[in-house]
């Protein structure tokens, strides 16, 4: 299964990068191939300063070696030996009307234990209902096609819980699906392949609808402020960041998820009744998006 996963994730990286370059129409991904000192390596691909995407990364990695005894105790399995392969991506559009997106799909082994993890989630700054509903409906369709291993309601709930900034008492975005430690059965592998293939369907229609809309300097200001929440989550809570750093991964590849321009403003509060206030007052609260009409 490891070899199958490596081949699929490599191909998925290729297809996602090609589709994002096409929708941007101006910028191309640069690739850095790297080797991990303890075993394995990967391909980091970054797009910057495009017509649509201000910064984005789509990473493939295949690493192996041994955990430290301390870290091994925190991961399901036994012994110290591990393998890990997967694709991880974060896309930060230039326009505040086009949402940031994150997705990752991975396969890991630790001694006698093997599992899949991953998901996709959306972080809009000025949400459109049809975009949020579309994103969730795509993931629900994927889950519904694999009822033996995937439950959309549970994975949505887990996503809402995982991408939550406890120190802010607010969600990072409008969620999607999240799963981890899914036993590596054939049924799970079929679900992961379908989920990986569904990413472009979940996101590209949103980009196409919003990329040509005009926006104001004030909206750009708010986007840069809200990007700070993305930084906080990735540096404090994100399991992928912790895993990469704990296993001596390539730091530049791990931190490629951070946005290029961010504002930190002391005790900023949007005016009541504005779209900026509505983001946290309504959109970042849990809702059954997939049950709504686009």
Q: What are the structural domain ranges in the chain? A: 2-291
CA distances from 285 to 38, 121, 170, 224, 281 (A): 42, 14, 8, 21, 7
In 3D, which of 232, 246, 199 has the Cα closest to residue 89? 199
Q: At what angle do helices 129-144 and 152-162 cross, to 10 degrees?
A: 130
Which one is catalytic: 92, 102, 110, 146?
102
Residue-level pLDDT at 225:
97
Q: Is 102 a catalytic residue?
A: yes
Q: Which residues pair with 103 in a beta bridge?
A: 89, 120
Q: What does the pLDDT profile of the chain (294 residues) look like in tens digits?
A: 999 999 999 999 999 999 999 999 999 999 999 998 888 999 999 999 999 999 999 999 999 988 888 888 888 888 998 999 999 999 999 999 999 999 999 999 998 999 999 999 999 999 999 999 999 999 999 999 999 999 999 999 999 999 999 999 999 999 999 999 999 999 999 999 999 999 999 999 999 999 999 999 999 999 999 999 999 999 999 888 888 888 777 888 888 889 999 999 999 999 999 999 999 999 999 999 999 988
Query: Distance (Å, rounded) from C-alpha 177 to C-alpha 190?
Result: 16
Which CATH architecture best describes the domain 2-291?
3-Layer(aba) Sandwich (3.40)
Residue-level pLDDT at 37:
85
Structural element, H or E, at residue 53: strand 53-66
E strand intervals along 111-228: 113-123, 164-165, 170-171, 175-183
Residue-level pLDDT at 77:
87
19, 22, 27, 32: CA torsion to nearest 10: 30
Residue-level pLDDT at 239:
83
């Amino acid at each position: 299964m490891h070899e199958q996963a490596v081949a699929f994730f490599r191909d998925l990286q290729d297809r996602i990068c090609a589709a994002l370059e096409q929708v941007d129409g101006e910028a191309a991904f640069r690739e850095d191939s790297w080797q991990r000192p303890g075993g394995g390596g990967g391909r980091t691909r970054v797009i910057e300063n495009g017509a649509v995407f201000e910064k984005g990364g789509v990473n493939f990695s295949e690493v192996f070696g041994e955990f430290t005894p301390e870290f091994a105790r925190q991961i399901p399995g036994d012994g110290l030996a591990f393998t890990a392969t997967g694709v991880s991506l974060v896309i930060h559009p230039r326009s505040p009307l086009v949402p940031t997106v994150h997705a990752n799909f991975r396969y890991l082994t630790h001694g006698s234990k093997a599992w899949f993890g991953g998901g996709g989630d959306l972080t809009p700054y000025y949400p459109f209902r049809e975009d949020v509903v579309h994103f969730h409906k795509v993931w629900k369709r994927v889950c519904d096609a694999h009822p033996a291993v995937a439950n959309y309601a549970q994975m949505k709930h887990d996503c809402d819980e995982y991408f939550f900034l406890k120190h802010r008492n607010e969600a990072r975005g409008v969620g999607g699906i999240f799963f981890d430690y899914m036993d590596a059965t054939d049924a799970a592998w079929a679900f992961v392949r379908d989920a990986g293939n569904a990413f472009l369907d979940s996101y590209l229609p949103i980009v196409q609808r919003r990329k040509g809309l005009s926006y104001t300097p004030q909206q750009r200001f708010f986007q840069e402020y809200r990007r700070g929440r993305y930084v906080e989550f990735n540096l404090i809570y994100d399991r992928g960041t912790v895993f990469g750093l704990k296993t001596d991964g390539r730091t530049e590849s791990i931190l490629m998820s951070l946005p290029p321009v961010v504002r930190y403003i002391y005790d900023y509060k949007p005016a009541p009744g504005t779209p900026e206030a509505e983001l946290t007052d309504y959109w970042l609260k849990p809702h059954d998006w997939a049950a709504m009409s686009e």
